[in-house]
Amino acid sequence: MKFQAIKGTRDILPPDSALWNRVEQTARDVFGTYGYSEIRTPIFEQTELFARSIGAETDVVAKEMYTFDDRDGDTVTLRPEATASVCRAYIEHGMHTLPGNVKLYNIGPMFRRERPQKGRYRQFFQIDAEVLGQSDAPAIDAEVIEMLLVFFERVGLRGATLSVNSIGDKNCRPKYVELLREELRKVKDSLGPDSQRRIETNPLRVLDSKLPEEQAIIETLPHIADYLCDDCRAHFAKLQAELKLREISYEINWRLVRGLDYYMRTTFEIIAPGLGSQNAVCGGGRYDGLVELLGGPPTKGIGFAIGTDRLILSLQDATKDAAPESALDVFIAWMGEKSYAPAVQLARQLRDAGYAVELPPEEMKFKKSIGLADKLGAKYALIIGEDEVASKQYSLKRLADGQQNKYSMADLLQHLHGARAS
Ligand code: HAM
């Protein structure tokens, strides 16, 4: 029997894992400068938490959740996203009593049973950030977006575009949804089966359709911007002023409604190049009222989740022609029994000084050693034979050009430091 990773899941292997670590570390660093701290929530929760937060009619809840009965009969679900869990934790730990806004980020795997394709997996990873508190000031929305763009800039993502929208609140949205439903009923026969069904269950989602034959019809539908109540209209105008203040370019996409039910007012999405159809690398928005819906105190909330898999794909696409940089600094080519103990000690000293060192566990012939050092992409081979042991002068060979010099241990470290700095 041959085992394979389950469809829609994958292994992240070196050297890709180094890029993953760099991306996640950059998120920690950037988010830290904006006052966010890490929260780690469980991978599975009560099913009802997601059903109530995300909405029973959404694709995520209706079709994509990994739900199973636990041995004691409880029904549990592998988390399809992080926002619901963060709100649950906010309530459970009474975080509303903390001073100021509570800013949290969460990094880890999520699970949705979607049809796998490039950029779409059944186990995928998100870098999620949430702000919870008493204020719904548009400055919070704008700062969240600013932080996101600073992060993308810092990891080297180029050519990403930001779309924003407002989808109103409980005062104005129901009226717009009803109007949309009426308009959609008139054109029902020209729509595909998914959209036809959504006219009754969730007409907003029709706006999300990518079906080419539905596009012309959708473009004639009423825009929510024309039906926002005064408060929502003012909030959206202020958000745009705040984005301009921060010199953030954006476009308004009136069809950006998002696939989860908890959103209100601000929604946003970032599209990245090199990804094909699964090109949304981040989605987010405001969800005032979700904490209350889950049994907590009245609370405002906004956040986003970056699809790490997609971000990495886009970064790799942008650098696919660049030569990979080797992580290995020094390969120790030791020969002769007497060289082994000094080789072990030198390896330890070099590693203590922060260099990546490969020490062959068994003696190798010189030529084979240098050949392997080359294949591993080592920058240097440190040659230790019996002469070197006797003189305590070690030969350092730069593999790119074969240049070779002898150094004492102290000089060797100084030389490596100098080479690293230049
Ligand atoms: P979402 O739009 O469902 O929002 O997911 C956010 C991002 O996760 C997507 O833009 C995409 O990059 C990535 N993603 C989603 N599904 C998959 C998949 N099957 N494979 C690979 N990547 C995927 C949320 O999850 C919200 N919780 C975001 C949020 C946080 N809103 C407020 N706070």
Q: Which helix (H) or strand (E) holds 107?
A: strand 102-111
Extract the tokens encoding 162.
């930001």
CA of 127 to the centre of ligand 1 (A): 9
Q: Which residue owns the Cα nearest ligand 1 atom 22?
A: 307
d(CA 95, CA 97): 5
Question: Using a 6 Å cutoff on CB, does residue 305 contact ligand 1?
Answer: yes
CATH number of 330-416: 3.40.50.800
Determine the atom of ligand 1 nearest the C-alpha atom of 306.
Answer: 7
Which amino acid, one-letter code, is at 103?
A: K
In ligand 1, the atom with minimum distance to the C-alpha of 260 is 3
Q: Which of 20, 60, 124, 130 to mutate to test the pocket of ligand 1 (most atoms within 8 A of CB)?
A: 124
80 CA: nearest ligand 1 atom: 25
Pick from 13, 39, 134: nearest CA to 92 = 39
Say how many Å lie between the CA of residue 81 and the centre of ligand 1: 7
Three-state SS for 7? coil
Distance CA 261, CA 61 (A): 10
Residue 363 Cα to ligand 1 midpoint, Å, equals: 51
pLDDT given at position 57:
87
Give the model confidence (pLDDT) of 198-231 as tens digits: 999 889 999 989 899 999 999 999 999 999 999 9
Where exactly does CATH 3.30.930.10 map onto the chain?
16-172+228-318
Q: Quick check: helix, strand or coil at residue 351?
A: helix
Return the bridge partners of 249, or none: none
User: Rg of the chain over CA atoms, in angstroms?
Assistant: 28
- Of the candidates 241, 250, 246, 245, the residue with the CA atom closest to the CA atom of residue 270: 250
Residue 101 has a pLDDT of 97
Range(s) for CATH 3.40.50.800 in the chain? 330-416
Architecture in CATH of 16-172+228-318 = 2-Layer Sandwich (3.30)
> Contact 285/268 with Cβ under 8 angstroms?
yes
CA atoms 34, 35, 41, 46: torsion sign: negative
Tens digit of pLDDT per residue, the chain (422 long)?
Answer: 899 999 999 999 998 999 999 999 999 999 999 999 999 999 999 999 999 999 998 999 999 999 999 999 999 999 999 999 999 999 999 999 999 999 999 999 999 999 999 999 999 999 999 999 999 999 999 999 999 999 999 999 999 999 999 999 999 999 999 999 999 999 999 999 999 999 998 899 999 898 999 999 999 999 999 999 999 999 999 999 999 999 999 999 999 999 899 999 999 999 998 888 899 999 999 999 999 999 999 999 999 999 999 999 999 988 887 777 778 999 999 999 999 999 999 999 999 999 999 999 999 999 999 999 999 999 999 999 999 999 999 999 999 999 999 999 999 999 999 988 87
